[in-house]
Chain A
């Protein structure tokens, strides 16, 4: 039944020729096999597709690779040529178990405390809705998207390319809220957001709480969002209220946000102090290492993925510049020896959104290594290789992100 539904929704996606769609119907097995071929041990070894956890039961199982109850990746072929990622296909990564679904029953009643401003206040979502509103298209991407390609076996979920999606966020600009409360306190250098998850007894809250600090330069774009893709934000994705920092890695977009503070220092919660820090392989995390804030320029092919036919093929993919608009994306069908510029598909939804792209190519019989390389308007371009690092963060090398396609 589910498989039939998947076929139906596939058929309504125009002209996306994807011979590997079948792999979508097999759930996670295909992706697991792909990871195994690269010589890595997948985190989850079970070959039977896992069922969706209760808090995400409404998601499209066939579009997702389910690793654990809190980690679900979008299948590479499920993105296709979409500008906006359908909510039921968007990846899920919760650092802590989600609060009960009932917290989103009366979203206007959810309260967030704002401190580190001239006039600290507790505001309900209902009140926030009268203070201002904006809608922004922004890519959501986990810091570890691409971790599966690191040969040292970086610990954490072995995301390939699917811990990413582009969605529309609607909410109040954080700046409007702060202005209404008299502006940030003197000396504020960070915006610190705290999630509303409950923490079990017996643990030091600082060791697991989701509390992230981002530099105050993000105040120009940050928002407190109550809608995603034009519908009320589900608790699966952080509703009733989520701090959204466009262009910043996923972890900074704090779900169930209950506390916002303008602070002189970054929080000493572990997730900030030593988590999400880029360091050499084998080194522990510490506050002096770069934090996962702004995303870098990146792209990958979404079709074809495994098999093509000889002759003209449409090669699809997605590309983004993090916080910087894109200049171009180049595509190679010979593993990077020669490049041709791809064409962006669909409307430009701003610097924080991704741009689907397409390039027509004549493929001859045999093996083709298809890769893509994006360049932003500041001239930043994807490197060929990886920057090796302990946790496998921030990978945007074009070589690893390519696909090997057999043309017959």
Chain B
């Protein structure tokens, strides 16, 4: 289960930290610069694309995170948002 790695990427590994900009209740973050992930419920592809290439003011993490880390991040976000209903 790589969602543990994904949570670590979300809260600690990625720089700047995902938590600064995004609210995600499972991670205890309340950042308000980017979309609230609990509300947005992004697809796996959306997360991977956004994190890899950046979206708008969100930077690209292609060079600072590995493909494995980005996929784990996507799996983690999906696991804590899609089952919320």
> Which positions in A face B, CB cutoff 8 Å?
41, 43-46, 50, 68-69, 95-97, 155-156, 200-203, 207-208, 270-271, 275
> Which positions in B face A, CB cutoff 8 Å?
16-17, 20-21, 31-33, 35-36, 39-41, 43, 46, 49-50, 53, 55-57, 59
Q: Which residues of A contact B35 (CB under 8 A)?
A: 68-69
* Dominant SS among interface residues on chain B: loop
**In contact, A45 and B43 (Cβ under 8 angstroms):** yes
**In contact, B41 and A200 (Cβ under 8 angstroms):** no
* Dominant SS among interface residues on chain A: loop
A294 to chain B, nearest CB (A): 21
Q: Which residues of B contact A44 (CB under 8 A)?
A: 39-41
Q: Which residue of A lies closest to B53 (CB)?
A: A155
**In contact, B39 and A68 (Cβ under 8 angstroms):** yes
Q: Which residues of B contact A41 (CB under 8 A)?
A: 43, 46
Given the known inter-chain contacts A68-B39, A202-B20, please indicate yes or no for A207 contacting B33, CB distance below 8 A.
Answer: no
**In contact, A96 and B33 (Cβ under 8 angstroms):** yes
CB<8 Å pairs between A and B, sample of 20: A41-B43, A45-B41, A50-B39, A68-B36, A69-B35, A95-B56, A96-B33, A97-B32, A97-B33, A155-B49, A155-B55, A155-B56, A156-B55, A200-B20, A200-B33, A202-B17, A203-B16, A203-B33, A207-B59, A208-B57
Q: Which residues of B contact A207 (CB under 8 A)?
A: 57, 59
With beta carbons under 8 angstroms apart, the residue of B31, B36, B39, B55 that contacts A200 is B31
B36 to chain A, nearest CB (A): 6
- With the chains together, A254 CA to B5 CA distance in Å? 40
Most chain A Cβ neighbours within 10 Å, of B35, B36, B50, B53 = B35
- With the chains together, A270 CA to B57 CA distance in Å? 7
Q: Which 5 pairs between the two chains have the least Cβ-Cβ distance?
A: A97-B32, A155-B55, A208-B57, A68-B35, A202-B20
With beta carbons under 8 angstroms apart, the residue of A69, A203, A271 that contacts B20 is A203
- With the chains together, A203 CA to B33 CA distance in Å? 11
Q: Which residue of B lies closest to A210 (CB)?
A: B57
Q: Which residue of B lies closest to A203 (CB)?
A: B16
Q: Which residue of A lies closest to B15 (CB)?
A: A202
**In contact, A69 and B57 (Cβ under 8 angstroms):** no
Q: A68-B39, A201-B20, A208-B33 are in contact. List 14 more A-B contacts (CB 8 A).
A: A41-B43, A41-B46, A44-B41, A46-B41, A68-B36, A69-B32, A69-B36, A69-B39, A96-B33, A155-B49, A155-B50, A200-B33, A207-B57, A208-B57
